[in-house]
Amino acid sequence: MTEIDDILDAQEQFFKSGRSRDLDFRLENLSRLKKGIIQNENAIFEALKKDLAKSSYESFLTEVGVIRDEIRLVSRRLKSWNRPRRVKTPFFLWPASSRIHYEPYGRVLIIAPWNYPFLLSISPLIGSIAAGNCSVLKPSEYAPHTAAIISEIVEAHFDRGYAAVIEGDAQTGEALLRQRFDYIFFTGSETVGKMVMSAAAKFLTPVTLELGGKSPCIVDQDVDLDPAARRIVFGKYVNAGQTCIAPDYLLVHHSNKSKLLDLIRKYVNRFYGADPHKSPDYARIINASHFNRLRLLLEKGEVIIGGQSDPQDLYIAPTVITHLSWDDPVMQAEIFGPILPVFEFEDLSEVISIINARPKPLALYIFSRRSENCRRVIDEVSFGTGCINDTIVQFANPHLPFGGVGSSGNGRYHGHASFDVFSNKKSVLKKSFAFDPPLRFPPYKNKLPILKKILR
């Protein structure tokens, strides 16, 4: 019997025991997870530095700190979220009451990506624990040091029948997907997402897919350009652009283009220095394959900021390119790196048409002082998540459900939404023995007009 079989058998027995459903048990294990993270904080920082060259500050800002905040919120609210929720009952069903009861699915598989390898592994695990499931976590092999510390934390604080980490490459992931789980939560590319959904279909297993896409960033005519540039530079180049909700391309009003590009150059220099290669705060590309893919994207268009690279160090500078067509390779798929294509526009209708002609993005950003323009974009463009006058920070709000739409994903998580996504909602109507309306039962002769009148 393989390690996967052993773990799944242990988790089946553990879940059947009912221990994972107990509310106090869930709260205790959320506390144990938080304790393990705090105790291993420096080791987590070191792992992220080895995998992505992240600074400790960026690691805390974008990964560890977000996780600690989410555990705090979920632990504080879980008791109220877990209570059966009373809903209205139509008067024609009287006397009765209706409630939604929450129960765990059972054995959950979480497949995590490499770009935020700690955050995007542990965040869904928090939701699975909160809902009362048993969990198998498959971290990405592209971030091996972070995968190792996650495995160490989980193994030290949880029974493997309750929560286990299985490390390995794509073949390990495929082996896991051949097993029967009660729920699958996947974060990664659209291509692999299709494979996950196909594998889940064999068992009719419900799936949440957190994917990606080309997230547009609109800079309107009437806008304060200085903070806009500062926030765009941060959102685009944190983690060397390897962020699923990073601005993927810029749509700037033609009257602001020149000034905005000057300000972007200013803030790249202010954040990372004249030579970002020497900056301790600038991350690296995850591996040679992704580095080479990104370098090919620079063969079309005009590089006006950055463009330098070092294959030995997997370094690509914060880069801005212009004079592109919509058919160029850089516009055919999510960039997932520190390259920002820039296009100009004259009318907001043009922008809306451009975005709507493409697959629905995971994120959208608009910088504008005109509330009517912001409302119009939100109303007329379909996207998963976004910001007005900022970038990427919506992810850090655990009260905002996070997820995509269409090819950018399905399902929502974070905070209460994480408890919901990992919970089966049982709808239960409780009927009194006191009274049965005669209209309900045969014979129905001459009752139809009365029933119509009541329902009307």
CATH of the domain at 174: 3.40.605.10
Show Cβ contacts of residue 91 under 8 Å, excluding neighbours closer than 6 positions: none
Q: Which residue has the tokens 């040091």?
A: 145
Task: Report the chain's terminal Cα–Cα distance, integer Å.
Answer: 62
Query: Does residue 433 form part of some domain?
Result: no
Pairing between strand 96-104 and 423-431? antiparallel
pLDDT score for 439: 86
Is 354 found in the same domain as 341? yes
Query: Does residue 149 form part of some domain?
Result: yes
Output the CA torsion sign for 51, 52, 55, 58. Answer: negative
- The overall pTM is greater than 0.85: yes
Residue 370 CB neighbour total at 10 angstroms: 14
Q: Which of 63, 70, 190, 244 is catalytic?
A: 244
Domain boundary among 377, 396, 415: 396
pLDDT score for 1: 46
pLDDT score for 452: 87
Show Cβ contacts of residue 431 under 8 Å, excluding neighbours closer than 6 positions: 93, 95, 96
Domain extent at residue 193? 3-211+406-428
Is 180 found in the same domain as 139? yes
Query: Does residue 439 form part of some domain?
Result: no
Is 423 found in the same domain as 392? no
| Largest Cα span, the chain | 87
As a three-state string, the secondary structure of 260-329 is HHHHHHHHHHHHHCCCHHHCCCCCCCCCHHHHHHHHHHCCCCEEEECCCEECCCCEECCEEEECCCCCCH
Is 148 found in the same domain as 243? no
pLDDT score for 453: 86
Pairing between strand 249-253 and 339-345? parallel
Is 223 found in the same domain as 204? no
Using CA atoms, how far apart are residues 356 and 359, in angstroms rounded to an integer? Answer: 7
Query: Does residue 441 form part of some domain?
Result: no
| Count of structural domains within the chain | 2
pLDDT score for 435: 84
pLDDT score for 54: 97
The token duo for 285 is 């590309």
3-state DSSP assignment of residue 231: helix
Residues of the chain scoring pLDDT < 70 = 1
3-state DSSP assignment of residue 420: helix
Q: How many helices (H) and strands (E) does the chain have?
A: 16, 18
pLDDT score for 450: 87
Nearest to 109 by CA among 160, 181, 161, 164: 181
The separation between CA 383 and the C-alpha centre of its own chain, rounded to angstroms, equals 13
pLDDT score for 94: 87
| Catalytic (active site) residue 217 | no
Length of the chain: 456
How open is the CA angle 197-289-241, to the nearest 5 degrees?
Answer: 80
pLDDT in tens, 295-326: 999 999 999 999 999 999 999 999 999 999 99
Is 201 found in the same domain as 242? no
Q: Which of 63, 70, 190, 210 is catalytic?
A: 210
| Catalytic (active site) residue 210 | yes
Cβ–Cβ < 8 Å for 261, 233: no
Is 167 found in the same domain as 261? no
Is 17 found in the same domain as 54? yes
Is 41 found in the same domain as 167? yes
CATH of the domain at 339: 3.40.309.10
Is 269 found in the same domain as 179? no
Show Cβ contacts of residue 235 under 8 Å, excluding neighbours closer than 6 positions: 217, 243, 246, 247, 365, 390, 391, 392, 393
Is 244 found in the same domain as 389? yes
How open is the CA angle 331-336-341, to the nearest 5 degrees?
Answer: 40
Query: Does residue 16 form part of some domain?
Result: yes
Query: Does residue 437 form part of some domain?
Result: no
Is 229 found in the same domain as 103? no
